[in-house]
Amino acid sequence: MIEIFGIPMQALLGQLLIGLINGAFYAMLSLGLAVIFGLLNIINFTHGAQYMMGAFAAWLLLDRLGVGYWWSLAIAPVAVGAFGVVVERTMLARLYKLDHLYGLLLTFGLALVIQGLFQNEYGSSGLPYRLPSEFAGAFDLGFMMLPRYRAWVVVASVVVCAATWYVIERTKLGSYLRAATENPALVQSFGVNVPRMVTLTYGFGVGLAALAGVMAAPIYQVNPLMGANLIIVVFAVVVIGGMGSIAGSIVTGFGLGVIEGLTKVFYPEASNTVIFVIMVIVLLVKPAGLFGRER
């Protein structure tokens, strides 16, 4: 058996894969946060709860209505995104003129309400989500077995992130979005309906979180608190990457997932804290974040 630094190759690759999968979720969630922050200047604390809602939507669709994974991938993000639109219209829209911290406080409170309601209804233990049968089994790569579903998660999240990047950085719609991030009043004066764009952007970011939740459902247990702890790690990811760049948040998400996976191999005690330690180092060296701009 091949060993690297005294660690069996298989263990190393296994953790690397787990890291890549965690990284896929970090990337999708931090991407959503970055898109929302860019236009709304709000850090969406509800993001973790909305990710959890996506997973629960998939679970409920399968358990109550017999709707399978593929439909859930489409229905859950739209449903949770629509919920996000309602939240934006009824609550967040009232806060844009105030200090941005009120947005953080509001979304924090909302996250507590959502998590509490789900805990009351479904308890705190995890509910299993059956893996779709298409994904049973694994690819034999010769040096390791790669479960099909995990391969799918990595590929799908790369595609989703790349598509989001393309839309924002390379299309006309994206150029409006970027312009509105820089100067909303000016874009409005050109006849673009900025408030509607803000609403839809929030809905999109929330939908992205829900999509990540659906994809997470077969891997992790569906649990009311699944987003609560994750979101804090994602905040650290966002601080490390800086929120100035869409590509930056994607790269940072995947990169930190992999680093976390490797830490599990070489120094397991630190695997929970490594991302926070990196955050501290980045703050000392480059306070604006790796890809960020001081604003």
Partner 1 sequence: MVAPDPATPGPAALEPPAGGAPPAADPPSRAFAIATAAMVVALVAAPHVGVYPVFLMKALCFALFACAFNLLVGYVGLLSFGHAMFFGTAGYVSAYAAKVWGLSPELAILAGTVASTLLGLVSGVLAIRRQGIYFAMITLAIAQMMFFFYLQAPFTGGEDGIQSVPRGRLLGVVDLANPLAMYYVVLAIFVAGFLAIRRIIHSPFGQVLKAIRENEPRAVSLGYDADRYKLVAFVLSAALSGVAGATKAIVFQLASLTDVQWQMSGEVVLMTLLGGMGTIFGPVVGAFTIISLEHYLADRGQWVTVITGAIFVVCVLAFRRGIVGEIAAAWAKRGR
Task: Give me the residues that bind partner 1 (CB under 8 A), please.
Answer: 37, 41, 43, 91, 94-95, 97-102, 104-106, 108-117, 119-120, 228, 232-233, 235-236, 238-239, 269, 272-273, 276-277, 279-280, 283-284, 287
Nearer to partner 1, 13 or 237 (CB): 237
Q: How far is the CB of 63 from partner 1 (least distance, A)?
A: 21
Kindly state the smallest distance separating residue 19's Cβ from partner 1, in Å.
Answer: 17
CB closer to partner 1, 100 vs 130:
100
Close Cβ partners of 63 (under 8 Å, ≥ 6 residues apart): 127
Nearest distance, CB of residue 77 and partner 1, angstroms: 23
What's the min distance (Å) between Cβ of 284 and partner 1?
7
Q: Could you tell me the smallest distance in angstroms from the CB atom of residue 74 to partner 1?
A: 29
The DSSP bridge partners found for residue 127 are 222
Burial call 147-186: b when 16+ CB within 10 Å, e when fewer: bbbbbebbeebbebbeebbebbeeeeebebbeebbeebee
In whole angstroms, the minimum distance from the beta carbon of 202 to partner 1 comes to 16
- Based on CB atoms, which residue is closest to partner 1, 17 or 106? 106
CB-based contacts of 144, cutoff 8 Å, min separation 6:
10, 13, 14, 17
The distance of closest approach from Cβ of residue 165 to partner 1 in the complex, given in angstroms and rounded to an integer, is 23
Cβ atoms of 154 and 22 within 8 Å: the answer is no
Closer CB to partner 1, 1 or 285, in the complex: 285
- Is residue 4 within 8 A of residue 173, CB to CB? The reply is no
- How many Å apart are CA 229 and CA 231, to the nearest integer? 5
Cβ(132)–Cβ(70) below 8 Å? yes
**Closer CB to partner 1, residue 76 or residue 111?**
111
Of 82 and 101, CB closest to partner 1: 101
Token readout for 70 is: 């593929």
Q: Where are the alpha helices (DSSP H) in the chain?
A: 9-40, 47-65, 69-90, 101-122, 148-170, 172-182, 184-189, 194-216, 226-241, 246-266, 274-285
Task: Let me know: does 260 contact 82? Beta carbons within 8 Å.
Answer: no
The CA-based angle 21-24-25, given to 5 degrees, is: 100
Q: Which is nearer to partner 1, 218 or 257 (CB)?
A: 257
Nearer to partner 1 among residue 167 and residue 225 (C-beta): 225
CB of 71 to partner 1, least distance (A): 30
